[in-house]
Chains A and B, each alone.
Chain A
């Protein structure tokens, strides 16, 4: 792009609201109103990969989880899995494996509830063009009080699962290298069992609600911020959806396998990370396809597209219905992410119910050990997508290298694509840009990720400031919100 020799307009959304973290969007148009560039900038720097260096390997699961307050469990468990590898443990005791899985399903359940109800549903239930003053979770509580209460209780339930398995609702210490530090008591199990049927019922109602919403407005929603892409996720050895562990699978836009059954330790042979000079966030891509064509999507849509089946009955039935949207190909719609997300919410509730009936979660054999190694890679399916943790540890037990590819990073290019698509459909050629139209940009981002703190963090208010400027930087139109 040559800003100096074309007459361009630039729209800046800074910061993007109703996400956790700090991001800025810029949309550049040429003098004919055509979209020249649409970008999401991650404008702050974190640095966990650097400051875990020199720390003892068993500290990693407790340190790196502080990347995030929404899905710390994913980082906690992924680092713990990596450290299992460092101490030579390839198989946990049944109690440790099931306690960690329970923690993870609790995490997915609460995070998906938060993502959909608290952060995204105001756009869907109140309208993307509703008054911004009420287009939020308070507006939902006023108009749909029962639904709002349900959303809060669903999140609370997931948090209670996390507390029971890791000791705290946020930033617990349950997973340790080689296992877990506690199992569940009869009292804890009884307490959690009290509400699981209600949670499952609400989860099914949620997916049905969104399904109807989507199908009733399919022309608009299926196109909003949509594009075709590759997909990457873990799947179990037999192709089943697995959020906690498995092997990497990549499919192309037509659903053909790009790679499959890739062990986490081999990820660097298949995935690389590119950088661009306008964002602190990297741009991962499938090595064999190159940076231009190899970018991919992760998260609920990728997982549901990639797996062959789901091993819980209600979620599997929902998956089959969902896949009909693609007519034999993967589903590519950005707004279908929410649908897939709610299918996973159902799956998580079903898995929690199953695990609460499993006597192994009361077991006492918590930790195991093996022969020490110096390098380990673990992958877990965090709520927003595949999360990679790669560590090297020296003979003194100190971490010498850490590489974390978070789901937000993998979805970086896709979010840019979604912004571009919204800009092309709704902003190109417009002389004035309305607030609802700008909100559509954010709606598309939120479908992927309302939580950018893996790559950034912000303190304080998040006002929205938008400027429409010409190529000389002269402000033509300006809107401030928040």
Chain B
């Protein structure tokens, strides 16, 4: 450690950072992309999805919550971890009903983009095809839990940014799902389309109505470059 800085070693690359930063933050600042799904820079890390799993001194952990410490040896871009992450993504796909071809989030969806980046051709696990109804009761926002990956971004955004706690987790294990703070449905909550919780979903699960397909092919977020390219490019500049 010198000048208040610490050094970690990510895939044999020296990464300098400050005490108090997570490994994810340290790597982002250095242009090293660690795949992630539930993590969002504006939210307190949740550590839910485990897509950002790395190995620290040989032990698996999640990069979004693990603090950087002097001399840590981190494995990130390895075949083993890429396969591990791809398996997580595959499981998320088969647990829900993710029909990318018509989903209005296509091209802007982080789940879809991760699947492409991690080389998922098609899920190898059996589809569960859960029967899930859409809650479109709210005039401006709808929830399609077919596409929910239980990342909890909406829960954290509504609670910590919007100060409303519209969303919360209920149930456990396979039954775990996002509930709304109301007797029946979303229309009874304080949610507005301008809330951060309404546009922070990484998939097409919580969507502001009447905005679908407005951006043509070729101009959507992940049409030209894979997810994570912005992080990788930002440090090279």
Contact = CB atoms under 8 A, between A and B. Distances in A.
B73 interface: no
A239 interface: no
Contacts of A166: 217
Nearest to B223: A167
Contacts of B101: 62, 66, 171
Chain A residues touching B, range: 20 to 34
15 contacts: A54-B133, A56-B136, A56-B209, A56-B212, A58-B104, A62-B101, A62-B104, A171-B101, A173-B213, A176-B213, A176-B214, A181-B215, A396-B137, A397-B210, A398-B134
Contacts of B136: 56, 396-398
Contacts of B214: 176, 181, 367
A59 interface: yes
Interface string A304-319: 0000000000000000
A58 B142 CA distance: 13
B218 interface: yes
Interface string B131-143: 0011011000010
Interface string B8-49: 000000000000000000000000000000000000000000
A173 B217 contact: yes
B134 A172 contact: no
Contacts of B134: 54-56, 398
A364 B148 CA distance: 35
A55 B99 CA distance: 12
A63 interface: yes
A168 interface: yes
A181 B209 contact: no
Interface residues of B, number: 17
A174 interface: yes
B134 to A, nearest CB: 6
B215 A59 contact: no
A182 interface: yes
Given A54-B133, A62-B102, A397 B209 contact: yes
Contacts of A182: 216
Contacts of A367: 214
B176 to A, nearest CB: 23
Given A58-B212, A367-B214, A396-B137, 5 more contacts: A56-B212, A167-B217, A167-B218, A172-B217, A398-B134
Candidate in A59, A66, A173, A397 with the most chain B CB atoms within 10 angstroms: A173
Contact of A58 (B133, B137, B213, B215): B213
Contacts of A66: 101-102
Interface in A388-404: 396-398
Contacts of B218: 167
Contacts of A173: 213, 216-217
Nearest to A175: B213
Interface in B96-118: 101-102, 104
Interface in B186-218: 209-210, 212-218
A54 B137 CA distance: 12
A168 B213 CA distance: 13
A367 B211 CA distance: 12
A367 B215 CA distance: 12
Contacts of B104: 56, 58-59, 62
Contacts of B142: 56, 396-397
Interface in B67-106: 101-102, 104
Interface string A161-188: 0000011100111101000011000000
Contacts of B213: 58, 62, 173, 176, 181
Nearest to B107: A173
A405 B41 CA distance: 49
Contacts of B102: 59, 62-63, 66
A58 B216 contact: no
Contact of A176 (B137, B212, B217): B212
Interface in A365-413: 367, 396-398
B78 to A, nearest CB: 35
A63 B97 CA distance: 14
Candidate in B209, B213, B214 with the most chain A CB atoms within 10 angstroms: B213
A182 B219 CA distance: 10
A206 B185 CA distance: 59
A181 B216 contact: yes
A54 B135 CA distance: 10
B219 to A, nearest CB: 8
**Which 6 A-B residue pairs are closest in the complex by CB-CB distance?**
A167-B217, A182-B216, A396-B136, A173-B213, A62-B102, A58-B212
Contacts of B209: 56, 397
Interface in A141-178: 166-168, 171-174, 176
A397 B208 CA distance: 12
Contacts of B215: 181
A166 B101 CA distance: 14
A183 to B, nearest CB: 10
A187 B214 CA distance: 21
B212 A168 contact: no
A168 B210 contact: no
Contacts of A55: 134
Contacts of A397: 136, 142, 209-210
